[in-house]
Amino acid sequence: MPSYLQVENISKSYGPKTLFDNISFNINEGDKMALVGPNGCGKSSLLKILAGADSSDSGGKIIFLKDIRISFLEQEFAYDPEKTIMEEIIGREEARKIWHSEEQKWEYERKLVSNLTSFRLTDTGKKMKDLSGGEIKRAAIAALLAEEPDFLILDEPTNHLDIEAIETLENYLSRSRSTLLMVTHDRYFLDKVCNTILELDGGSLYLYRGNYAQYLEKREERLNNQRAETDKVRNIFRRELEWMRSTPQARTGKARYRINAFHDLKERAAATVQDRSIDMEGLESSRLGTKIFNCRNVSFGYGDKKLIDGFTYNFSRYEKVGIVGGNGVGKSTFLQLLTGEIRPASGTIERGESLKIGYYRQGGMRDTDFDPDKTVLETLNDTSMLNRFLFPHSMFNSKLGTLSGGELRRLYLLDILMKSPNLLILDEPTNDLDIVTLNVLEEYLSDFKGTLIIVSHDRHFLDRLADHLFIFCGDGVIKDFVGTYSEYREFIREYGKTGKQPEKAKGDSASKKEWKENKEKKREKDRLSYKEQRELEKLEKEIEALTAEKKEIEEKLSSNSYGYEEITRMSERISGIISELETKEERWLELSC
């Protein structure tokens, strides 16, 4: 396969922060490569250098195969708000380059209209200023694909897209013969589309062939090997340090090479292998009462547009519900109704008195009192938790305006969780967060001792966390689906083929009742705080040890081989064990039942 892109020795720094230093890699025709790495490591900067929108600090070489068509999708699509969708797209320089003849122009327009239709943008006369963020992104992608590039460079292509649009793009790219390099955090998307993962971490690049699961396995092998190598170097360094201290008179002649090697060894021994992942241990929720949100015939809309029509539902304690639906169907509005930011046009929403709501908004800190001139430490004055959320001391005085999108979202998430909410409302929480952070966040939320309401386009995230789904169908209709998002999509596909609803996915009243009962029992059982969970584990070990000791003493007493004083001592100990067991077992029952 010919090489479509050769990159040699490029570097990028911002002030004292080095993103990457003299990195090199190669992309061949047919490669479908995902670029992953922690927030702020330089993924978007690397793509901009490749696209010619930025330059390398160290020169280096970026060589594309001659005469291939390259298309670049940036995270934010620049547009004229007064132009219509069609005017905006066909007026772009990339489109004009394709129009060498009337025949080519006609073919491009045909492909463009077909793509816009696939992405549910049939009204091409609609002005750009009237589009939602997701619709703008869909228009940008439709235009890009109509160019039929040989090489696609995509920066977070799934951000702001609803799940239907993600699946449309996913199906297109998985079938396409185009070579691909993209930054993405969407694990299902990555798995279905890509055959290679390029990881940017600590200023270096690492190449992995295979899917996401294989990447995780090989990455852990790499980190373990690096840790082992670092330990080995440090052991040698300690030995050489003793030599340096004990033989100052030998620092001439033949020993000079050993002295030089020592200084090189010192640098290598100082290196650390960082498995950058946030630490969420100790973040706890407040106690939650039985009443959450009781919704009765709630309706809301704007003008003639109905967003919610007669919605009735009582949210349960410890329930985890996912909310899905197309752009502009009322998902974020629904959250604002629940929290009381807006009032329903009709109907009522009763809220529990013990609710302590943590509301993670779609725009992150920019939807709150975001002050770009404030520092990280001024925003959240807890150095320990900042460190655990991957904000080192060197970043404490960084202004918020200088942080990457992912770093801002991580800080915003920490600010919310530190207030110990017992009800979390997350509106598109996965945008801009790196894959490692998402995995840790999922672990925390799966054990969260409170109620969880998630609006998300991340299918992996929904499958992992949501017990059931509210499907926003448009025109105010909201349907409740009992099951994971993958099961819902399978249900839709099966229904589309046969016209019949699969038995296991019906979600009728009986199955809903059974689901509610089972989930409530499970949540009640799992409702322990982190401290109580540790107490329960300790009690189980203590009860096991006391029971074993009691059995051992009973066997000794039944052997008739001990004197009166020893028997008296053992009898007293048995009495004490029985008393301790009763106390501990009673507490164990309180925690576990």
The strand pair at 151-155 and 305-314 is best described as unpaired
User: What does the pLDDT read at residue 506?
Assistant: 44
Q: 29 or 371, which is more confident?
A: 29
Angle, to 10 degrees, between the axis of helix 530-557 and the axis of helix 564-592?
150
The answer to whether 308 and 330 have CB atoms below 8 angstroms apart is yes
From residue 337, alpha-carbon distances to 134, 332, 333, 417, 480 in Å are 22, 9, 6, 22, 18
What's the angle, vertex CA 414, arms to CA 156 and CA 532, rounded to 5?
A: 125
pLDDT at 336 exceeding the cut of 90: yes
- 463 confidence band (pLDDT: 50, 70, 90): very high
Farthest-apart Cα atoms in the chain, separation: 112
Least confident of 26-35, 90-99, 386-395, 410-419: 90-99
- 505 confidence band (pLDDT: 50, 70, 90): very low
The strand pair at 468-474 and 320-325 is best described as parallel
Least confident of 233-242, 253-262, 441-450, 519-528: 519-528
User: What does the pLDDT read at residue 496?
Assistant: 58
- 516 confidence band (pLDDT: 50, 70, 90): low
Among candidate residues 386, 433, 16, 382, the one with its CA nearest the CA of residue 185: 433
Mean pLDDT to the nearest integer, 51-64: 89
Phi-psi region of 52 (alpha: psi -120 to 50; beta: other; left: phi over 0): left
Mean pLDDT to the nearest integer, 530-548: 79
User: What does the pLDDT read at residue 252?
Assistant: 53
- 520 confidence band (pLDDT: 50, 70, 90): low
The strand pair at 305-314 and 293-302 is best described as antiparallel
User: What does the pLDDT read at residue 261?
Assistant: 65
**What's the CA gap between 334 and 307, in Å, rounded?**
8
Integer-rounded Cα radius of gyration of the chain: 30
Burial (0-12, 13-18, 19+ Cβ within 10 Å), 267: exposed
What proportion of the chain, given as a percentage, has pLDDT over 70?
Answer: 83
Sign of the dihedral defined by the CA atoms of residues 368, 325, 136, 177, in that order: positive
Least confident of 78-92, 239-253, 274-288, 413-427: 239-253
User: What does the pLDDT read at residue 212?
Assistant: 85
From residue 317, alpha-carbon distances to 422, 453, 516, 590 in Å are 10, 12, 10, 19
pLDDT at 486 exceeding the cut of 50: yes
The mean pLDDT of the chain is: 83
The answer to whether 49 and 55 have CB atoms below 8 angstroms apart is yes
Q: Which helix (H) or strand (E) holds 245?
A: helix 212-246
Half-sphere exposure of 212 (CA within 13 A, CB side): 17
From residue 95, alpha-carbon distances to 103, 107, 139, 256 in Å are 14, 12, 13, 65
Strand partners, 314: 294
**What's the CA gap between 286 and 90, in Å, rounded?**
54
Q: Would you give the DSSP letter of residue 583?
A: H
User: What does the pLDDT read at residue 494?
Assistant: 72
Least confident of 33-42, 223-232, 262-271, 456-465: 262-271
User: What does the pLDDT read at residue 508?
Assistant: 45
Residue type, 387: N
For residue 64, give the 3-state DSSP assignment: strand
**What's the CA gap between 62 and 356, in Å, rounded?**
53
What proportion of the chain, given as a percentage, has pLDDT over 90?
Answer: 33
- 504 confidence band (pLDDT: 50, 70, 90): very low
User: What does the pLDDT read at residue 518?
Assistant: 57
From residue 138, alpha-carbon distances to 86, 331, 368 in Å are 13, 19, 27
Mean pLDDT to the nearest integer, 262-289: 66
From residue 586, alpha-carbon distances to 280, 475, 540, 590 in Å are 31, 54, 12, 6
Mean pLDDT to the nearest integer, 233-251: 63
User: What does the pLDDT read at residue 274?
Assistant: 52
Burial 380-413 (b: 16+ CB within 10 A, else e): beeeebbebbbbeeebbebebeebbbbbbbbbbb
User: What does the pLDDT read at residue 281?
Assistant: 75
pLDDT at 263 exceeding the cut of 70: no
Q: Where are the beta strands (DSSP E) in 378-446?
A: 423-427
pLDDT at 213 exceeding the cut of 80: yes
pLDDT at 589 exceeding the cut of 70: no
- 348 confidence band (pLDDT: 50, 70, 90): very high
pLDDT at 359 exceeding the cut of 90: yes
Q: 505 or 138, which is more confident?
A: 138
The token pair that represents 512 in the structure block: 């809903």
- 141 confidence band (pLDDT: 50, 70, 90): very high
Least confident of 93-97, 365-369, 451-455, 494-498: 494-498
Mean pLDDT to the nearest integer, 507-528: 51
The token pair that represents 483 in the structure block: 């099951």
Q: 490 or 309, which is more confident?
A: 309
- 509 confidence band (pLDDT: 50, 70, 90): very low
- 278 confidence band (pLDDT: 50, 70, 90): confident
pTM equals 0.71
**What's the CA gap between 435 and 36, in Å, rounded?**
8
- 254 confidence band (pLDDT: 50, 70, 90): very low
For residue 377, give the 3-state DSSP assignment: helix
The token pair that represents 11 in the structure block: 């570097």
Cα 442 from chain centroid? Answer: 7
Please list, in sequence order, all residues whose beta carbon lies within 8 angstroms of the beta carbon of residue 539, skipping any fewer than 6 positions away: 584, 587, 588, 591
- 20 confidence band (pLDDT: 50, 70, 90): very high
Question: Which CATH architecture is the domain 293-525 placed in?
Answer: 3-Layer(aba) Sandwich (3.40)
The answer to whether 355 and 290 have CB atoms below 8 angstroms apart is no
User: What does the pLDDT read at residue 389?
Assistant: 84
Mean pLDDT to the nearest integer, 87-97: 80
Among candidate residues 270, 199, 188, 235, the one with its CA nearest the CA of residue 458: 188
Mean pLDDT to the nearest integer, 82-95: 85
Mean pLDDT to the nearest integer, 151-159: 92
Superfamily of domain 3-215: P-loop containing nucleotide triphosphate hydrolases (3.40.50.300)
- 170 confidence band (pLDDT: 50, 70, 90): very high
